[in-house]
Structure 1
Amino acid sequence: MKQNVGIIGAGIGGLALAIRLAKKGFNVTVFEKNSYPGGKLSELKINGFRFDKGPSLLTMPNLIEELSNSNDSQRKFEYKKLDTITHYFYSDGTQLKASSNVDDFAEEVHLKLNEKKESVLKHIKRNAFYFKTTEDLFLKQSLHQIRNFINFKTIKGILCAPFLGLFSTMHNKNNKIFVNPKTVQLFNRYATYNGSNPYKAPALMNMISHLEINLGAYLPVKGMHQITTHLVNLAKDSGVTINYNSLVETLLVESNNTISSIKTNGLSYSFDIVASDVDIHVLYNHLLPKKFTPKKLMAQQKSSSAFVFYWGINKEFPSLGLHNILFSEDYKKEFDYLFSKQYPTEDPTVYINITSKYCKEDAPNGCENWFVMVNVPHNSSASIGYASDLRKNVIAKINSMLKTDIEQHIIAESSLSPLDIENQTSSLGGSLYGNASNNKFAAFLRHSNYSSSIKNLYLVGGSVHPGGGIPLCLLSAKITSNLITKRAN
């Protein structure tokens, strides 16, 4: 008899898990509180402009293709590899284009930032070593089962621990390697890919750059939201039922510590297995009895959030590409403000994503769709007091570094604050990646992909192992699917 699985949340992790389980013969129902799927990976349309609301960088597209192949689907996920990954701008006028060709990128850093090309290539190679040594241990299996540590690849990873940068920070490691603070800043930036602080996160986190620099950066041909629509179509093809506008109110836990039903919209639905793709704080604070709350996990420092301005611009900027970084002058101060003062600095690093550079239908002719993002603290109050000042500071920085008057070119506008992110995606305080990775034990301190106290409860998504971001959410679905299948058999 087929077992029935209820999944809470139609984010990327929940959808990927649904596809995998349906392929393995489970009856799968997904409950989504919003009227649309995708969680943070949704879209916005205003006045002829289309914006991806959340994640803007695709790496490891093979994980999406894997879902298509596992489903025996004829649907193709179309994407292109970027020739130029990122355009970097510094306050003194220095500009640098990061090529997808590693040798060309190292040469560009040498020419523009006066680093030894060999140092850049060696650093990139070291980061690849970090990733390849740890991926089987940290990214492809549960860290919370003893048997997973008794195999050759895991033992090899453990033996290599002294060489994995666990006892230094990203910044200290980068600062020892490079002579130019601009280069250090460039590589420190990768800490923001999981909402962490490069001055505290272990040097091992430098491996994040490997995904982009060595494995490549990509863009779906119709923008990032295409990932969501593709996964939804795969899920439907597999027989998955997705119920929208279905906020889960509670999970009924029986005396034998198993969940018997999910309650939503006043109705209860019985399931053999339940999987949660919501932030662990929502799961434990709102859906489960308090006695199951893992207090130490819940008390850990949260990752940063983001404040996004969506601007329709009535002009084209040839100097900009798909991904653009306008660096702050004092990076350490910026992160001190983020994680200590809980307030964005007056000189923030600004990220501008313009999908209309590739997806021409995302903006009217002669215009561009600017997704303008600043890293900000996750929110701990009922309001955002800095929104107006932040907008002024962002505009001033853009005007200064791009030699323009950007406000006169804004013809459509919307925004997304940490409060909005929390309301729309249930991420605590708008935290983008769950708990931060600001210590060397971070990988071991994330919630496991299963509950140790509730027998038929599993967890997937950005707030649990192995972490946040599209690739890790997809990997969490793979891990969780394997756990469910093994226990069911």
Structure 2
Amino acid sequence: MNQKAIIIGSGIAGLAAAIRLTTKGYQVEVFESNAYPGGKLSEIQIGSYRFDAGPSLFTLPEQIEELFLIAGRNPADHFQYSKLDIVCHYFWEDGKTVKAYADLNKFAEEVETKLGEPAENVRKALKKSAYIYEHLAPLFMHRSLHQWNTWVNLTALKSYLKMGKLGIFTTMNAANEKLFVQGKMVQLFNRYATYNGSNPYQTPATLNIIPHLEFNIGAFFPKNGMHDITLSLYRLAVDLGINFHFNSKVEEVLVDKNTAIGVLVNNEEIHADLVINNMDMVNAYKSILKKQKQPTKLLDQPKSSSALIFYWGIKRAFPELGLHNILFSDDYQMEFDHIFSKGSICHDPTVYINITSVCKDDDAPNGCMNWFTMINVPNNQGQDWDKLIEEARSSIIAKINRVLKTDIESLIEVEEILDPRTIECKTSSANGALYGNSSNNRYAAFLRHANYSSEIKNLYFCGGSVHPGGGIPLCLLSAKIMAEMIET
């Protein structure tokens, strides 16, 4: 009889873990407290408008395809996507705009023409990003940092010899100020710190690895929207015979003699040979693992930033906008100081607008747009969020009106709001932090929970709050690292 594995949570990493363990011969059951799979990678429908509720950027699609391949399926038969010609549209208050073309040379020329930044500097920056990826990805993204064999091999040795060139000893902002002559380009490349909820003025320059994913490899859009990542993997999982239990909150991980033996759900003990936690690590230890030894040092680490999102149905089309759009603040450092030092929201926040109806017509009525309008905000520390949301909404609308020369308030047909409190409620993310522990110091990579428990045998971890981190690609890799540790 096959060994049994229980997975707690059906976020993207939980789905990937379920598929990987099934292909290794395990009988897998998934317990999900919500009525739907996907965690943050879900969708909402408001009237005639559809919105991808959470992550909006899609990179490294091969991580999705690999799950179909190991299950013996042709990925193209189940999941389609296309590469973006323009990665992002950037706007500043002084009227300057930049289209971040996927074509590197075209992007470099655009920056030189629009901002006066030498095109060669852009090429150098992206070459540097590729260099960091080449030497750090095999070590930090694809292997456990908590096993000796990661550190004692030829690949690791080569990386050690280049540590000084990989940005570990300086900040992202300091590195970017050396790369570019124009402040707007420094700001554009500093933005990548937000991809894991960090502060570019504190986080190490190793995070300059991220532009490589967008430009040198590419940014993509699933044919049926980001939520189709969840749906396609869920359909695959069901087809493989994986059993999902929705509206089934795990109350406790059962441990006997320092070994995980199952879970407690609705006062019923369900036994298994393996237990994999896809729930946020901090909240897992505070709830379903509260009887076990607590990794206090990890639990007490500062948390990443969160998000405030307004889902707006806009009854007009804006041809100057694309799928991804950024309206930059005038004082970026002040904005991050508010988020990480003051636990508040700057009066002039950078506004991100994701509009999937640009690529997928039926996400909004004809002549309209679905705006996923987001700003980075602090995680929930007990602030007066009702007041902060009201003030932020006014600031966002004022900024959009200034930059796009419009009256956006009069065009909002439907609205729904997601804030750090509701993020925590819906996804069990501690304090509503989107990426678990903060990455605002050079040791952050080592301050993430391992993909296994060092105290409890047969208990494993995956998802954005553990190694290697948050975001779709890293969540998928967390499931891969975890599955490779398990012997069949």
**TM-score relative to the length of structure 1:** 0.98
Aligned AA (2:279): V
1:422 maps to: 424
| Aligned-partner SS, 1:292 | coil
| Alpha-carbon distance, 1:330 to partner | 0.2
Report the alpha carbon displacement of residue 149 of structure 1 after superposing the two structures with TM. Answer: 1.6
Distance 1:480 1:292 in 2: 21
Residues 221-271 of structure 1: per-residue CA shift (max 9 Å, x gap): 1110000001101111111111100011111211x2012220112221001
Write the mapping of 1:101-140 to structure 2, written as runs, cut at 5 A: 101-140=103-142
What amino acid is the match of 1:259? A
**1:66 to partner: Cα distance:** 0.6
- Tell me, yes or no, if structure 1 residue 7 matches structure 2 residue 10: no
Q: Which residue of 2 aligns with 1:314?
A: 315
Closer/same/farther in 2, CA of residues 26 and 383 from structure 1, 3 Å limit = farther
Q: Would you say 1:353 and 2:354 are equivalent positions?
A: yes
Give the corresponding residue for 1:300.
Answer: 301
Tell me by how many angstroms 1:178 deviates: 1.1
Show structure 2 runs of 5+ residues with no match. Answer: none
Partner SS state of residue 269, structure 1: strand
Q: Distance in 2 between matches of 1:246 and 1:394?
A: 38
* Alignment match, 2:68: 68
Letter in 2 for 1:13: A
Q: How many aligned positions are there?
A: 485
Say which SS state the counterpart of residue 214 (structure 1) adopts: helix
Question: Which 4+ stretches in 1 moved above 4 angstroms?
Answer: none
Which of 203, 218, 223 lines up with 1:221 in the alignment? Answer: 223
Amino acid at match of 2:375: V
Which residues of 2 match residues 137-176 of structure 1 at below 5 A? 137-176=139-178
Please say if residues 84 and 221 of structure 2, whose CA atoms lie closer than 8 Å, have aligned partners that are also in contact: yes
- The alpha-carbon deviation at position 148 of structure 1 amounts to 2.0
1:197/1:335 contact within 8 Å kept: yes
Deviation at 1:429, TM superposition (A): 1.2
Deviations 1:148-184 (A, max 9, x none): 2222111111221121111110000111221111000
Distance in 1 of aligned mates of 2:120 and 2:31: 51
Match of residue 382 from structure 2: 381
Distance 2:78 2:255 in 1: 41
Instruction: Report if the CA contact (8 A) 1:79-1:221 is conserved.
Output: yes
Summarize deviations over 1:354-393 as a string: whole Å, max 9, x none: 0000100100111100000000000021751301111111
In structure 1, the residue corresponding to 2:425 is in which secondary structure? helix
Where does residue 455 of structure 1 map in the other structure?
Answer: 457
Whole-angstrom CA distance in 2 between matches of 1:330 and 1:55: 25
Secondary structure of 1:10's match?
coil
Residue equivalent to 1:272: 273
Deviates more, 1:104-113 or 1:259-268: 259-268
Task: Report the Cα offset of residue 112 of structure 1.
Answer: 1.1
1:291 is displaced (CA, Å) by 4.4
Residue matched to 2:405: 403
Matching residue of 1:259:
260
Amino acid at match of 2:62: N
Match of 1:100 in 2: 102
Question: 1:378 and 1:213 mapped to 2: Cα distance?
Answer: 29
Deviation digits for residues 62-100 of structure 1, max 9, x if unmatched? Answer: 110110111112542100100011000001000000000
Task: Spell out, residue by residue over 1:280-327, the C-alpha distance to the aligned partner (whole angstroms, 9 max, x if none).
Answer: 112111011444210010111110000000000110000100000000
Rounded to whole Å, the distance in 2 between the matches of 1:404 and 1:382 is: 31
Question: Quick check: 1:27 aligned with 2:49?
Answer: no
Q: Which amino acid aligns with 2:204?
A: P
* Aligned-pair identity (%): 54
2:41 maps to 1:41: yes
**Given the alignment of the two structures, is residue 439 of structure 1 paired with residue 441 of structure 2, yes or no?**
yes
Q: Which moved more, 1:257-266 or 1:212-221?
A: 257-266
Partner SS for 2:312 = strand
Partner of 1:195: 197
Of 182, 185, 201, the residue aligned with 1:183 is: 185
| Paired position in structure 1 for 2:483 | 481
Give the Cα–Cα distance (whole angstroms) in 1 for the partners of residues 383 and 44 of structure 2: 24
1: CA distance between counterparts of 2:408 and 2:149?
57
Shift of 1:185: 0.2
Judge conservation of contact 2:262–2:274 (CA < 8 Å) in 1. Answer: no
**In 2, Cα distance between equivalents of 1:189 and 1:41:** 22
Alignment-derived partner of residue 287 in structure 1: 288
Q: Please name the residue that 1:372 is paired with.
A: 373
Q: Aligned partners of 1:387, 1:395: CA distance in 2, in Å?
A: 12
CA contact (8 A) 1:250 1:262 kept: yes
Distance 2:36 2:384 in 1: 25
Partner SS state of residue 324, structure 1: strand
Give the Cα–Cα distance (whole angstroms) in 1 for the partners of residues 51 and 232 of structure 2.
Answer: 17
SS in 1 for 2:184: helix
Query: TM-score scaled to structure 2, two decimals?
Result: 0.98
What is the one-letter code of the residue matched to 1:263? L
CA distance in 2, matches of 1:227, 1:260: 31
For residue 336 of structure 1, what is the aligned residue in structure 2? Answer: 337
The answer on whether the counterparts of 1:383 and 1:419 sit within 8 Å (CA) in structure 2 is no
Whole-angstrom distance in 1 between the partners of 2:114 and 2:446: 39
How much is the aligned-residue C-alpha RMSD, in angstroms? 1.0
Give distance in 1, aligned partners of 2:341 and 2:235.
Answer: 43
SS of 2:486 mapped into structure 1: helix
Amino acid at match of 1:424: K
Unaligned 5+ runs, structure 1: none
Distance 1:209 1:278 in 2: 28
TM-superposed CA distance for 1:3, in Å, is 1.0
Match of 2:208 in 1: 206
In 2: Cα distance, 1:184 partner to 1:383 partner: 33
- Which amino acid letter does the alignment assign opposite residue 42 of structure 1? S
Matching residue's letter, 1:41: L
Q: Deviations over 1:189-227 (max 9, x none)?
A: 000000000000001111111110111000001110000
For the residue of structure 2 that corresponds to 1:307, the secondary structure is strand
